[in-house]
Structure 1
Amino acid sequence: MQDPSSPPVQARNPLHGLTLERIVTALVACYGWPGLGVRIPLRCFTSDPSIASSLKF
């Protein structure tokens, strides 16, 4: 039995433990900023893109 104050175990959640910064960094490594801008047309990916601007969005 779990302690009520502890967070629930998320064994089936593939994103558990990943930060948004880590996810965006992996996407940039895979697709590059131009590729992300085409796939996801957001200003943070198309106009002067950076990890910081993506996290603020």
Structure 2
Amino acid sequence: MDERFDGYTIIASEKYKRYKDILAVLLDDNMTYTHEEIDEILQNEFNRPIVEFKN
């Protein structure tokens, strides 16, 4: 069984430090995640197309 971490621990970790802002938005406070799940969440977010809105 893979080790699971809560959002606070993930954001505070050295491994995910450079992604802490985006993970703070994407992770649910009431859930725990494996490293594989976190990497998948980040990959899905980075693969989303950028949409520009102009006034």
More contact order relative to length (CA 8 Å, sep ≥ 6): 2
Do both share a fold (TM > 0.5)? no
**TM-score, normalisation: structure 1:** 0.28
Say which structure is richer in strand. 2
